[in-house]
């Protein structure tokens, strides 16, 4: 590639292993048997899939990449991509619950926490006995993680936490929260820390549930911290490590969101393809009309490209490579693919595409958020462009 600096030094073997195929099938079976029934009702009533999440835990889907000694499944990132994709094909809300617990919470604790913290918090999270939440975004600090207004003042044996976090997935159902806060404004990003906070601590309140356009089955809340005492031992890493911690975790988190987007796109495409083979217009199945056939061809092509980007980012992560570029590329392209594909799926369904029972209108609403959380599409372009000249 000359001076292009594309970080593609290693590519994955495109032949999935027997174990990976088994994980994919298990996730597909779970999604069809446990998630499909009631998914429209959960969306309509913004109902958290409590029983389904418990079954996800039983299958090991909430700690997929965590070492078995900490209660996890010890699987690779490609298996994780396969599982989330299958679940998101049916229920994107369940997929994001799974993604946050795996990519943002478990991954961060396993990689950066000490042994005592891992045994106390990671084990129950990986087993799915509790679920976690990652608390970075604020009313005035979404993608700009350096603009934290939440503060954690050092009081000797503890920190005093004050502030508000917004748009927190698993906000009310989580028991363990990773909270990013500013401890020294003068130091800028070097004055930011990450803390493990438990539900129920004095001064920690959960705001009302957000009314959302999509992924309504996941619970999204604001979190309020008013003089919350956080023990010193609940800080993650050295003093001032919080910003680097957040950026590292978000890099991995983009693979989960890219996989969710891939699943939404794939699910919508499969429904549109099936519908086009059943629906007739002007005396023949609409698939046989070039206008529809070309739409499906473009959808399939975009999905195949998105899948390869997701696999490549996952493979590079497992190889211990820098995934800042590959993760951002996967998230950027897969989220656009999800949006494009679901719009066309609704169009192919015609009037039926506007009706809840055909699922694609929900998928279109769900797809939009994949372009926003874990950093907007514009942020992904910034990340990618910086890697090109690094």
Residues near 239 by beta carbon (within 8 Å), at least 6 away in sequence: 183, 193
The C-alpha atoms of residue 99 and residue 107 are separated, in whole angstroms, by 10
State phi, psi for 176 to the nearest 5 degrees: -125, 130
Strand partners, 177: 133, 197
The C-alpha atoms of residue 175 and residue 15 are separated, in whole angstroms, by 39
Q: Specify the length of the chain in residues.
A: 390
Rg (CA), the chain: 21
Query: Between 377-388 and 324-349, two packed helices, what is the crossing angle to 10 degrees?
Result: 140
* Nearest to 168, CA basis, from 145, 134, 204: 134
The C-alpha atoms of residue 141 and residue 154 are separated, in whole angstroms, by 22
The C-alpha atoms of residue 29 and residue 134 are separated, in whole angstroms, by 29
Q: At 229, is the secondary structure helix, strand, or coil?
A: strand
Instruction: Look up tokens 């399939």; give the residue.
Output: 300
The answer to whether 210 is a known catalytic residue is no
User: How many other CB atoms are found less than 10 A from the CB of residue 226?
Assistant: 13
Give the active site residue among 110, 361, 374, 378. 374
The residues annotated with a catalytic role in the active site are: 374
């Amino acid at each position: 590639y000359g001076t292009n600096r594309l970080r593609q030094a290693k590519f994955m073997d495109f032949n999935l292993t027997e174990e990976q195929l088994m994980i994919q099938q298990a996730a597909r079976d779970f999604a069809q048997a446990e998630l499909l029934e009631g998914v429209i009702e959960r969306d309509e009533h913004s109902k958290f899939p409590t029983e389904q999440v418990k079954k996800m835990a039983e299958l090991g889907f909430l700690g997929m990449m965590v070492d078995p000694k900490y209660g996890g499944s010890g699987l690779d990132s490609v298996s994780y991509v396969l599982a989330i994709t299958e679940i998101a094909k049916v229920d994107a809300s369940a997929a994001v619950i799974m993604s946050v617990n795996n990519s943002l919470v478990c991954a961060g604790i396993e990689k950066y926490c000490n042994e005592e913290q891992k045994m106390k918090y990671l084990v129950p999270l990986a087993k799915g006995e509790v679920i976690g939440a990652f608390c970075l975004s604020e009313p005035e600090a979404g993608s700009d993680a350096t603009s934290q207004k939440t503060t954690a003042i050092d009081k000797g044996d503890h920190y005093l936490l004050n502030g508000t976090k917004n748009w927190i997935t698993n906000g009310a159902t989580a028991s363990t929260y990773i909270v990013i806060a500013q401890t020294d404004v003068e130091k800028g990003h070097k004055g930011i820390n990450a803390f493990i906070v438990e539900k129920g601590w004095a001064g920690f309140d959960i705001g009302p549930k957000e009314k959302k356009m999509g992924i309504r089955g996941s619970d999204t809340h604001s979190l309020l911290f008013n003089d919350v005492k956080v023990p010193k031992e609940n800080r993650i890493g050295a003093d001032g490590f919080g910003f680097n911690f957040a950026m590292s975790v978000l890099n991995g988190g983009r693979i989960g969101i890219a996989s969710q987007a891939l699943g939404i796109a794939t699910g919508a495409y499969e429904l549109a393809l099936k519908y086009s083979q059943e629906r007739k217009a002007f005396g023949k199945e609409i698939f046989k009309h070039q206008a529809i056939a070309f739409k499906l061809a473009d959808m399939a092509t975009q999905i195949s490209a998105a899948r390869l980007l997701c696999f490549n980012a996952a493979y590079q992560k497992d190889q211990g490579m820098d995934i800042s570029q590959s993760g951002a590329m996967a998230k950027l392209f897969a989220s656009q693919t999800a949006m494009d594909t679901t719009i066309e799926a609704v169009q192919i369904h015609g009037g039926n595409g506007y009706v809840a029972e055909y699922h694609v209108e929900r998928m279109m609403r769900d797809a939009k958020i994949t372009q926003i959380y874990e950093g907007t599409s514009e942020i992904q372009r910034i990340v990618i462009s910086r890697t090109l000249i690094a």
